[in-house]
Structure 1
Amino acid sequence: MTRRTVPVAVVIAAASALALTACGGNDDAKANDKIAGADVAETSAAPSDETSTTERPQITLPGDLTDTFESWKTGDSAKDAVLQDVARRIDATNYAITQGDAEHSALDFYYGDAALAEAKDWVQSVVKAGYSITGANRYYNAKIDVFDSKSAGVVYCEDQGKAYAKDRKSGKIHRTAVTAKSYVLYSSRVEKSAQGIWKTTKLTSQRGNKSCTP
């Protein structure tokens, strides 16, 4: 996972912008339909469909923020288990931003390897800038590429058109117009931990990718 992009672009005073996201790579990242990590081990094996008994963290987003996962199921129980943990990771990251807590335990739970440190750095950078997030994020067009029983790749889109930055002190909401840049393509690699959790270990993104724009 490289430097995060925005799910919300906010123009402030001298045209500076604040990037808020559920976690992704920078706008310059060369993300495309190839899933991060696909060159490592690409096979036809299915991910393990063993149900993890590990209890997940309970995440409840603030009342002014919603994450909607549109058609976030494939009908395959093993693949859907992967998507569920990806969705939980997104919720956990947005929750950490709203709480101003870059060390929230849910981040450690759903991220691994370098992606964990980068997720924490990103949350901290948003909090340090004095912002939180509000509104509605929509995630859609999720696709899974299975590498083996313990690793897979997931690409998905995010519609940030109704999500905004909120000043942490004043509560002021910075509303912005919807453009092609409001849509983001994410490419991730996930790996199954010993506890059965699908952790995100790589994550990049590209704002305005044509596969996500209406």
Structure 2
Amino acid sequence: MNRRPSLLAAAALTAAAVLSLSACGGDEGGSKGNDKIAGAGTGSEKRESPSPTTPDDGINRPKIKLPADVKDVFEGSGTGDAKKDAILADNARRISSVTEAVTVEAKSHPALKFYSSGDALLSAANHVQGFSEKGKSFVGTTRYYDRQVTFLKGGAAAVTYCMDATKTYPKDRETGKVDKSIEASDQDYSFYNTRLEKNADGVWQTTSVLTTTAAKRCMP
């Protein structure tokens, strides 16, 4: 059983919903099968944990803060290549911006639109809205690994990675109850194939996301 509500169809979300993105609280779990990106590889207030490190690069980045019981863990961030590391860092911030939008009650989530654009923003907004409509959130640790960067023609980049959600659990928004009875399954392992483009402000925004759930390549 998948621990998180499935991604709604992107076409179902209106442009107005994307622009508002108000308190509707995380990752996108929709499956695109074998689709590929060209050039890429196959209450009360709670303490909050910090987002991925914000670099001193002169960019006015929105802060991302997750609840104390929610954590994103990213492996393979230091490649030794400055450009690849910058891309992986913004990829991580994009992921945590979606996590924040799902798990943190707020009037707006500026980081979501800061790190996503185009189809990726639409799919993220749909994903967040899916949790909201079901009255759900989640707690626990999500691991992201086997993260690879491929440079594409025209200055874009592809980032592929795996997600392990076996240590996350659904949470009821109204009651705050966490369901830890769900056992881990193949559905908790997903493979992501994303496209990133550097915008005028120097941010590597994710512009498209393709996901394969129950991805064998991501299973132990």
Q: Which amino acid in structure 1 is aligned with residue 2 of structure 2? A: A
Q: Secondary structure at the match of 1:190?
A: strand
Contact 1:9 1:165 in 2 (8 A): no
Give the structure with the larger strand fraction: 1
Which consecutive unaligned segments of at least 5 residues does structure 2 have? 8-25, 41-55
**Root-mean-square deviation (CA), in Å?**
2.2
2:210 maps to 1:204: yes
Q: Secondary structure at the match of 1:72?
A: coil
2:62 maps to 1:57: yes
Q: How does 1:10-159 map to 2 (within 5 A)?
A: 10=3, 18-19=5-6, 21-24=26-29, 26-27=30-31, 29-31=32-34, 34=36, 36-38=37-39, 52-100=57-105, 103-148=108-153, 150-159=155-164
Q: Which amino acid in structure 2 is aligned with residue 208 of structure 1? A: A
Per-residue Cα deviation, 1:108-131 (whole angstroms, up to 9, x for no partner): 100011221221122112112101
Which consecutive unaligned segments of at least 5 residues does structure 1 have? 1-7, 11-16, 40-50
Residues 1:182 and 1:102: Cα distance change in structure 2 (over 3 Å): farther
Distance across 2 between alignment mates of 1:91 and 1:70: 14
**Cα distance, 1:19 vs structure 2:** 3.4
Runs of 4+ displaced beyond 6 Å? none
Q: Which amino acid in structure 1 is aligned with residue 86 of structure 2? A: A
Q: Could you tell me which residue of structure 1 aligns to residue 2 of structure 2?
A: 9
**Cα distance, 1:101 vs structure 2:** 5.1
TM-score (norm 2): 0.77
User: Which one of the candidate residues 180, 190, 200 is aligned to 1:194?
Assistant: 200
Contact 2:142 2:163 in 1 (8 A): yes
Distance across 1 between alignment mates of 2:217 and 2:173: 33
**Cα distance, 1:103 vs structure 2:** 4.4
Percent of aligned positions with the same letter in both sequences? 36
Distance across 1 between alignment mates of 2:57 and 2:154: 14
**Cα distance, 1:79 vs structure 2:** 0.4
Distance across 2 between alignment mates of 1:74 and 1:94: 24
Distance across 2 between alignment mates of 1:125 and 1:159: 20
Q: Could you tell me which residue of structure 2 aligns to residue 184 of structure 1?
A: 190
Distance across 2 between alignment mates of 1:205 and 1:144: 16
* Equivalent pairs, count: 186
Distance across 1 between alignment mates of 2:108 and 2:101: 8
Structure 1 window deviating more from structure 2 (77-86 vs 97-106): it is 97-106
Per-residue Cα deviation, 1:146-186 (whole angstroms, up to 9, x for no partner): 01463100000011000111000111112221122211101
